[in-house]
C-alpha cells in the first residue's frame, strides 16, 4: 500500500522537527522525499515503506522509524543532490530548446533559487537558475557542478 502524502508530511515533520516545504514534496518508489526547514537549517527527508532504491544511495545523517515508516534525514550535499536529480525529474537540469522564452539568472550563491522558481510557476517562461561561466567559476573558486547543486536545493 502506498504512503499517503498527508501521512508522509506528518512523519517528516515529526522526525526532523521542522516544517516541510510543500513545493518540494515528490513521490519516489515506495515513499516521499522533501526539504524540511528547521529554524535556519534545511534538511532533505525521505520517508519510505518497504524497498526503496534511493535508500542505498543517500548520504544519511540520521535514520529512524516513525509511525511504522522508515525515515532518512540528510544534509544538502553533492551526493544527495545527484540522487535527487536522478530520481526527481523536475529537479534535474533540462534543455530549454529553441522554442519558448528563457531567462538566465547568475545566482552565484545559489540563494535566490527558492525565490525565483515560484515566480515562474504556471508561466510560459523558463528560468535558468544556474547560468554560470568559466570566469564565474574562477572568481568564486567553485566548479559548475557546485552551482548546479545550489540550484537543485534552491
Q: Would you state the pLDDT for residue 35?
A: 95
What are the angstrom distances between the C-alpha of 112 and each of 13, 88, 106? Answer: 24, 20, 9
Collect the ranges in the chain with pLDDT lower than 70. Answer: 1, 105-117, 129-132
How far apart CA 31 and CA 2 sit, in angstroms, is 7
From the centroid of its chain, how far is CA 150?
Answer: 10
Does domain 5-90 fall into CATH 3.40.630?
no
The full set of domain ranges for the chain reads 5-90, 93-153
Q: Would you state the pLDDT for residue 143?
A: 80
Q: How many alpha carbons fall within 13 Å on the CB side of residue 81?
A: 14
Q: Would you state the pLDDT for residue 32?
A: 96
Q: Would you state the pLDDT for residue 46?
A: 96
Angle at 44 (CA atoms; ends 38, 47), nearest 5 degrees? 105
Tally of CB atoms within 10 A around 85: 17
Amino acid at each position: 500500500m502506498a504512503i499517503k502524502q498527508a501521512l508522509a508530511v506528518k512523519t517528516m515533520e515529526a522526525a526532523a522537527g521542522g516544517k516541510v516545504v510543500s513545493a518540494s514534496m515528490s513521490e519516489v518508489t515506495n515513499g516521499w522525499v522533501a526539504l524540511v526547514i528547521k529554524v535556519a537549517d534545511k534538511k532533505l527527508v525521505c520517508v519510505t515503506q518497504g524497498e526503496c532504491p534511493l535508500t542505498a544511495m543517500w548520504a544519511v545523517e540520521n535514520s529512524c522509524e516513525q509511525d511504522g515508516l522508515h525515515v532518512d534525514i540528510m544534509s544538502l550535499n553533492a551526493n544527495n543532490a545527484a540522487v535527487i536529480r536522478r530520481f526527481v525529474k523536475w529537479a534535474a537540469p533540462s534543455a530549454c530548446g529553441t522554442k519558448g522564452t528563457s531567462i538566465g539568472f547568475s545566482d552565484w550563491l545559489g540563494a535566490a533559487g527558492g525565490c525565483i522558481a515560484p515566480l515562474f510557476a504556471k508561466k510560459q517562461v523558463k528560468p535558468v537558475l544556474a547560468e554560470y561561466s568559466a570566469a564565474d567559476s574562477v572568481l568564486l573558486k567553485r566548479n559548475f557542478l557546485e552551482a548546479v547543486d545550489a540550484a537543485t536545493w534552491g
